[in-house]
Structure 1
């Protein structure tokens, strides 16, 4: 008789556990949730620049984990989505793509505080534009008068992507 009660108690425990488990959403875990300051999707919040003795620097600031970034030379800059040409003066251009990323929050409000379209007066860098925030891809364009020779860096704490563009030594902005 004692074994029946033990078996019944164990069976009830198993069924109860299974029933509770079935009510937990499939994506739920016991791991701590990300903090409110670390968004699930990287947010591109700024683009800034500066001139140095031998190079110009373009910095893209990101809130969250820095996503994969590609940098390509392109013949012209175009706005993502519309395909319209970006009216940025220059003869050579770099297209910098961060994905997955956004320049807006979940409510659709822009979090990007950098230039949308700006002429820059540095020895190498001549302009910067936000060219896209579309379908999980943020694109920033940079304009130059000559073919840019550049190096890229990923820096952390805070998260940022850096493009250093060489110019003749001793040239000042």
Structure 2
């Protein structure tokens, strides 16, 4: 079944509005940087950063206040993924393998519709194991990312307050 842009907007606009209501903005602090607050069941995604460490590269997904999202992952060698409209897309940063991450009950916008995610949607890195990170979806309470990797797909992931950390080993 093919979707036109108009039918996609009609179908997805109410769902996007509901997702926006689920992630209210934090009150502004005078001396500290304001971080978006989330309800007790979800959080806002703020950005991504990466760095090389001995034996591994580390990617950090920074999150707003709230409950840590549930994280699921999968690997691929093709770099293809499906959008909510069920179209096939390919990663912008080509690599030998890919790690796809889904954060459930996470959003890219606050309740006023303001973007909370400040990093580029496609962010190349010149690291030995991590070649780039890309936003591949955000729909119905999911924030989805993909990491473009070198030949290694051995990784570990853990959560800490306000972030998800992924170590990709060389």
- TM-score after normalising by structure 2: 0.70
1:20-79 CA-partner distances (Å, limit 9, x unpaired): xxxxxxxxxxxxxxx755311310111110001211000001112211011211232436
In the alignment, the residues of structure 2 paired with residue 56 and residue 137 of structure 1 have an alpha-carbon distance, to the nearest angstrom, of 25
More strand by share: 2
> 1:37-56 counterparts in 2 under 5 A?
38-40=37-39, 41-56=42-57
Q: How many positions carry a matched residue from both structures?
A: 131
Question: Aligned-pair distance for 1:148?
Answer: 1.5
Unaligned runs of 5+ in 1: 1-34, 168-173
TM-score by length of 1: 0.69
Tell me which of 146, 149, 152 is aligned to 2:154.
149
Runs (5+) with no aligned partner, structure 2: 1-25, 28-35
Q: CA RMSD in A?
A: 1.7
1:165 aligns with 2:164: no
1:72 aligned onto 2:74 = yes
